[in-house]
């Protein structure tokens, strides 16, 4: 009798199943030179991270259309493989919001997967942006299924996170810790915009936990803010580890090419974790997914779900999975 696959047995018990993101790392680029460099690195790493063209912070006042045409044109240039890309547009109440979308959809960049919405004040703005994106996508006949990434950047939006996360088109909610700090008008010190303050200040901790909890409740991907210390060879990795293990974030921004590999490494399961997951799942499958004992610990379907999610993350990140586990599960 053939052994049952974990997907046929391990049913999600609460909330919605959290899908795999296009990548656990999202790299931002706000000018043409940086965007081309990021896309070249994405090709070198075979699409291991996503690239986002930033039309908001990268655009000088009065030059919004010029920057948008340049960056969207670069996204649309022919490439050997259409890896996942995104685009951060202006806030929904900014005059350039609709023109950003018109330029983006007219360029038709292959691989466009998500649009990032900054400076969101609440559910109503996300709904308004969603409606505009649907309307323009239909008019242009492109990107009907493009997803939304919502940036949480002030205290007020935290109270509507669950309504926002429940919207079908929303895939990510990201934390903008620098704008969040600034929005408190000095109540949060500047030290909270970098480590360790960004993890230790109570208001920052609360915001991160609220974002993560809302995303996990609705099957969306909480995305952690970037590390401002872009010159460090280790800080982005250290921050990613804290974001993942202490706050439950599933994805993180990069703002410098040298941060990409640090983030990918931090979010990838370790060899010991992969070995444990493979051993436990193979034993569980052999026991027809009934309870087992492994190294003095009891395991059943509750823990099998954890290890199956871990093994799928390892597969997605190119982890070293044993031949036996690959044959059994992939």
Query: Which tens digit of pLDDT belongs to each residue from 113-169?
Result: 999 999 999 999 999 999 999 999 999 999 999 999 999 999 999 999 999 999 999
Q: What is each CA distance from 297 to 219, 270, 293, in whole angstroms?
A: 29, 20, 5
Q: Phi and psi of 315, rounded to 5°?
A: -65, -45
Residues 294 and 186 in one domain: no
Residues 189 and 284 in one domain: no
Separation of alpha carbons 159 and 218, rounded Å: 15
Strand 112-120 with 251-254, pairing: unpaired
Separation of alpha carbons 205 and 181, rounded Å: 12
Q: Give a yes or no: residue 106 inside a domain.
A: yes
The pLDDT value given to residue 83? 95
Residues 260 and 275 in one domain: no
Helix (H, G, I), strand (E, B) or coil at 119: strand
Q: What is each CA distance from 54 to 60, 165, 233, 236, in whole angstroms?
A: 12, 23, 24, 20
Separation of alpha carbons 170 and 218, rounded Å: 10
The pLDDT value given to residue 2? 78
Q: Give a yes or no: residue 234 inside a domain.
A: yes
The pLDDT value given to residue 168? 95
Q: Give a yes or no: residue 9 inside a domain.
A: no
Which of 251, 267, 283 terminates a domain? The answer is 267
The pLDDT value given to residue 270? 95
Residues 242 and 136 in one domain: yes
Separation of alpha carbons 211 and 58, rounded Å: 25
The pLDDT value given to residue 61? 78
pLDDT tens figures, 101-129: 999 999 999 999 999 999 999 999 999 99
317 contacts: CB under 8 Å, gap ≥ 6:
24, 48, 264, 267, 268, 269
The pLDDT value given to residue 63? 87
Domain hosting residue 279, numbered range: 270-329
- pLDDT tens across the length of the chain (330 residues): 678 999 999 976 555 555 455 699 999 999 999 999 999 999 999 999 999 999 997 667 788 999 999 999 999 999 989 999 999 999 999 999 999 999 999 999 999 999 999 999 999 999 999 999 999 999 999 999 999 999 999 999 999 999 999 999 999 999 999 999 999 999 999 999 999 999 999 999 999 999 999 999 999 999 999 999 999 999 999 999 999 999 999 999 999 999 999 999 999 999 999 999 999 999 999 999 999 999 999 999 999 999 999 999 999 888 999 999 999 999
Q: Give a yes or no: residue 7 inside a domain.
A: no
Q: Phi and psi of 125, rounded to 5°?
A: -70, -40
Residues 161 and 196 in one domain: yes
pTM above 0.75, yes or no: yes
Separation of alpha carbons 109 and 328, rounded Å: 38
CA 163 from centroid of its chain's CA atoms = 19
């Amino acid at each position: 009798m053939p052994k049952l696959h974990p997907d046929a047995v391990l049913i999600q018990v609460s909330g919605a199943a959290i899908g795999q993101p296009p990548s656990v790392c999202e790299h931002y680029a706000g000018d043409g030179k940086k965007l081309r460099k990021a896309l070249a690195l994405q090709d070198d790493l075979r699409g291991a991270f996503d690239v986002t063209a930033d039309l908001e912070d990268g655009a000088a006042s009065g030059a919004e259309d010029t920057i948008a045409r340049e960056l969207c044109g670069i996204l649309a240039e022919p490439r050997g493989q259409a890896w996942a890309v995104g685009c951060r547009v202006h806030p929904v109440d900014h005059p350039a919001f609709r023109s950003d979308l018109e330029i983006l959809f007219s360029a038709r960049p292959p691989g466009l997967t998500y649009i990032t919405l900054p400076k969101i004040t609440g559910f109503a703005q996300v709904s308004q942006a969603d409606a505009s994106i649907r309307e323009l996508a239909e008019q242009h006949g492109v990107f009907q299924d493009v997803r939304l990434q919502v940036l949480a950047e002030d205290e007020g939006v935290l109270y509507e996170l669950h309504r926002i996360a429940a919207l079908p088109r929303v895939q990510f909610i990201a934390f903008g810790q620098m704008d969040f700090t600034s929005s408190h008008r000095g109540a949060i010190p500047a030290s909270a915009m970098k480590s360790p303050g960004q993890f230790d200040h109570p208001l920052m901790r609360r915001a991160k936990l609220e974002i993560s909890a809302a995303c996990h409740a609705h099957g969306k991907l909480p995305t952690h803010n970037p590390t401002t210390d872009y010159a460090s060879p280790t800080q982005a990795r250290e921050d990613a580890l804290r974001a993942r293990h202490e706050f439950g974030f599933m994805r993180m921004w990069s703002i410098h090419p040298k941060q990409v590999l640090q983030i990918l490494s931090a979010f990838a399961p370790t060899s010991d974790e992969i070995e444990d997951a493979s051993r436990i799942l193979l034993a569980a499958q052999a026991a027809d997914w009934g309870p087992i004992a492994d190294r003095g610990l009891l395991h059943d379907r509750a823990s099998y779900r954890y290890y199956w999610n871990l093994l799928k993350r390892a597969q997605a990140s190119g982890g070293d999975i044993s031949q036996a586990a690959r044959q059994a599960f992939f």
